[in-house]
Amino acid sequence: MSNDIRNTDKQDFSPIVRAIGSDLEQTQVRVIASANADMLFHYWKVGHFILYLQKKEGWGSKVIDNLSKAIHSQYPDKKGYSARNLIYMCQFAKAYPMEILIEMGKVEELLNSPSVDNVLQLTNELNQFTQQPVARIQNPDIQEDIITQQSVAQLCEVSETLSAIYHSDISKIEEIFKQSAIVRTNWASHVILLNSKLPLGVCYWYITQAVANGWSRNVLKNQLDSNLFARQIEAKKVNNFAVRLPNPQSDLANYLMKDPYIFDMMGQTEAMNERDIERQLVQHITKYLLEMGSGFAFVAQQKHFEVGDSDFYADLILYNIQLHAYVVIELKASSFKPEYMGQLNFYINVVDDTLRGEHDNKTIGLLLCNGGDKVVAQYALSGYDQPIGVSDYQLSKAIPENLKSTLPSIEEVEEELSKIAINNNKKEYES
pLDDT of residue 405: 43
3-state helix, strand, coil in the chain (%, to 5): 60, 10, 30
310 and 262 assigned to the same domain: yes
319 and 376 assigned to the same domain: yes
323 and 416 assigned to the same domain: no
Phi/psi at 365 (5° precision):
-110, 145
The domain total for the chain is 3
pLDDT tens for the 431 residues of the chain, in order: 445 445 545 567 777 887 787 777 766 655 544 678 889 999 999 999 999 888 888 887 788 999 999 999 998 888 899 999 999 999 999 999 999 999 888 888 887 778 999 999 999 988 887 645 544 544 434 333 333 333 333 445 899 889 988 999 999 999 999 999 899 889 999 999 999 989 999 999 999 999 888 888 998 999 999 999 999 999 999 999 999 999 999 999 999 999 999 887 544 445 556 666 666 665 666 677 778 888 898 898 889 999 999 999 998 899 999 999 999 999 888 899 999 999 999 999 999 999 999 999 999 999 999 888 989 999 999 889 999 999 998 876 443 444 334 444 434 444 544 554 555 555 554 55
125 and 244 assigned to the same domain: no
33 and 144 assigned to the same domain: yes
pLDDT of residue 275: 66
394 and 404 assigned to the same domain: no
165 and 266 assigned to the same domain: no
pLDDT of residue 90: 94
pLDDT of residue 410: 39
Q: What is the CA radius of gyration of the chain?
A: 29
The strand pair at 364-369 and 296-307 is best described as: unpaired
Q: Are 156 and 16 in contact (CB under 8 A)?
A: yes
pLDDT of residue 401: 44
pLDDT of residue 263: 80
- Provide long-range contacts, Cβ within 8 A and 24+ apart, for 321-325: 321/295, 321/296, 321/297, 322/252, 322/256, 322/294, 322/295, 323/249, 323/252, 323/253, 323/256, 323/295, 323/361, 323/364, 324/359, 324/360, 324/361, 325/249, 325/360, 325/361, 325/362, 325/363, 325/364
**Could you tell me the residue range of the domain that residue 370 belongs to?**
235-398
Q: Are 350 and 326 in contact (CB under 8 A)?
A: no
pTM: 0.76
Determine the residue type at 160: E
Structural domain ending residue among the three candidates 169, 193, 228: 228
128 and 139 assigned to the same domain: yes
366 and 418 assigned to the same domain: no
pLDDT of residue 407: 40
128 and 97 assigned to the same domain: yes
pLDDT tens profile 145-180: 333 333 333 445 899 889 988 999 999 999 999 999
48 and 177 assigned to the same domain: yes
* Cα gap 379→284, rounded to integer Å: 34
pLDDT of residue 412: 44
